[in-house]
Amino acid sequence: MHSGINKELNIRKAESLIDEAAAKGAEVVGLPEMFNFFGPDEDKARMAEPLDGPTISRLKDKAKEHGIYIHGGSILEKIPGSHKVYNTTVFINPRGEIIAVYRKIHLFDISITEDGVEYRESTFVEPGNKLVTVEVEGWTFGFTICYDLRFPELYRKLTLMGAEAIWVPAAFALATGKDHWIALCRARAIENQVYILAPAQIGRSPETGYVNYGRSVIIDPWGIIMSQAVDEEGVIIAEIDKKTIERIRKGLPVLKHRRPDVYG
């Protein structure tokens, strides 16, 4: 998606893309980070919602309409009594019920002067402090958001908690994404032998000048790119298979060969 400051337009676009994915046979549909609002920092607290607010309510309706699971990318979640918000994702079942909530743990506070990228997510976002997995239809999904991708210990811990497919909704900067996005997604898939499911924002925000890299991607546990978006909005789709995980982990049992007695 290329989300902007018009929340209603963003939500309608997300609903249309969910419809398209469901029509193509998707049983689980994921959205990118900040899918319902992408704009200036000073507006973010005002645009935040509780999890029972209108944005998530409309995703619940779509889940029930199509009988699918929906991963809600991320939205800005209100924190009562605080000027800050959470960067939060929800996972919704086909009955329209929230069955998992994850709040972004690692905040994007960086300054890469040679590329002109300077940003402090912590000025308006409170970090989460809980790792989250959920089991559905025989699968265990793990949850991360964007900058979390740079912390391999998080993905290893989720894998040890049983995760077989890990979500990475993102708004990855063009300056870093052009060199790191696919490399990091593949690395997290290969080292943990999990599927990586990574819906991403694309395009320049005229209000902020921030440019998102895009290239939404689905990667298998061997690190093979199964589906990748072109440089525009749209839907990508792939079929994930537990037998693939089992085969790879049996043939190359790196998780069994770990030595926590040596390195913790």
Top-tier CATH class for 7-256? alpha beta
The residues, ordered by sequence, that sit 6+ positions from 14 with a Cβ below 8 Å of its Cβ are 1, 31, 35, 36, 59, 73
Q: Which of 146, 164, 185, 233 is catalytic?
A: 146
Catalytic status, residue 104: yes
Q: What length does the chain have? A: 264
Query: What is the C-alpha separation between 10 and 18, in angstroms, rounded?
Result: 12
Catalytic status, residue 33: yes
pLDDT at site 119: 82
pLDDT in tens, 147-166: 999 999 999 999 999 999 99
Put simply, whether the predicted model's pTM sits higher than 0.95 gets the answer yes
Catalytic status, residue 13: no
pLDDT at site 113: 65
Q: Which of 33, 49, 77, 233 is catalytic?
A: 33
Q: Which of 7, 78, 104, 121 is catalytic?
A: 104
Mean pLDDT per 10-residue section of the chain, whose length is 264 residues: 98 98 98 97 95 98 98 98 96 98 95 72 96 98 98 98 98 95 98 98 94 97 98 98 98 97 94
pLDDT at site 114: 65
H-run or E-run covering 134: strand 133-136
What distance separates the 2 farthest-apart alpha carbons in the chain?
53
Q: What is the torsional sign of CA 190, 145, 51, 229?
A: negative
Query: What is the C-alpha separation between 14 and 130, in angstroms, rounded?
Result: 27
List the chain domain ranges.
7-256
pLDDT at site 183: 98
Burial of 2 (0-12, 13-18, 19+ CB in 10 A): middle
pLDDT at site 118: 76
